[in-house]
Structure 1
Amino acid sequence: MRFLGFFLLLLVGCAPQVGFGDKERREWGLQPVISDFAPDRGEGAKYRLRERVFFSFTLSQPGYVTLVTMDPDGTTVVLERNVQLPAGKHTFPLAADRNAQGQAAYLVVPPLGPSRFRLLYTSTPAPSRELFRGKLSNEEFNRHTRAYLGEAPVRDVAETWMEAVP
């Protein structure tokens, strides 16, 4: 039984540390605009390579959102940038995003393991800056996030994760 408890603690320690608690919200000057941000199968869900994934979220007021991913190796990619949306429930990619096959979707690609997804909200358009490029440490990811949020009068951040499996 003692071994099982240790094993569970070890597993919890391996999961990405996501989310913004009260402390981070105060430090970063965030306001609770984003809620229910998660992949379509739920936070921490497993997706096989080449499977489609969608992200849903709710905004309590209109504004601009950016979706960024960070792979297990630290590689960051901006999936959506400065998308203007009204208040309400949304899904990325948007239903209006189409390709030759129909509804656009994000496909799960290597590397395997847990990937973080960060949704950034600003009440005004964020300036176009060359941020979130290349491999970043957690501290650099946070620094880029803060720079991106800039001086927007209202800003928020939500984070979730999913895992790519073979």
Structure 2
Amino acid sequence: MSTPSLLDAVRIVKENERVASDNYAEASRKVDHSRSKVLFEQLSEFEQYHFEKLSALEASLEKSGGFIPYEGKELKLPPIFEIRAAQEPDRKTIMQIISAALDLEEESEKAYSDLANRISDKHGREMFKRLAEEEHKHFQTLTDVYWTLTNLGTWQYSQT
């Protein structure tokens, strides 16, 4: 099995971000509570931001072989809230959505960390480390939601 080039790896993670953005947008349409919708909408917009930055990186690598600056972004979560699980009538579907999102966030974090370790360029290494950190924060937020739904019967998360 051959090792993918940097450009191939960027294309793969870029596609992962598109899928994540689409999945979160779909999740926002499936939940009933307005703040739940906002959480998934924010995650969708964040992953779209990653997609756009990776598209710019892809173009730069194709054109000049150089990295672009990546200033990062903070996830702007709605205020901390608590929703009784009963307010989400299809709890099983919600749990499946969150489980799939957790898997995707974990895979993305690992992919970015692996890329950071492979890159000798300082800006590229910093970019992929920052992307990994951002995906880890998404993972933590979703872990909070999953845990509280499972154990407390409420939909909660902390500001990370």
Q: TM-score, normalised by structure 1?
A: 0.29
- Bigger share in strand: 1
Q: Which has the higher helix share?
A: 2
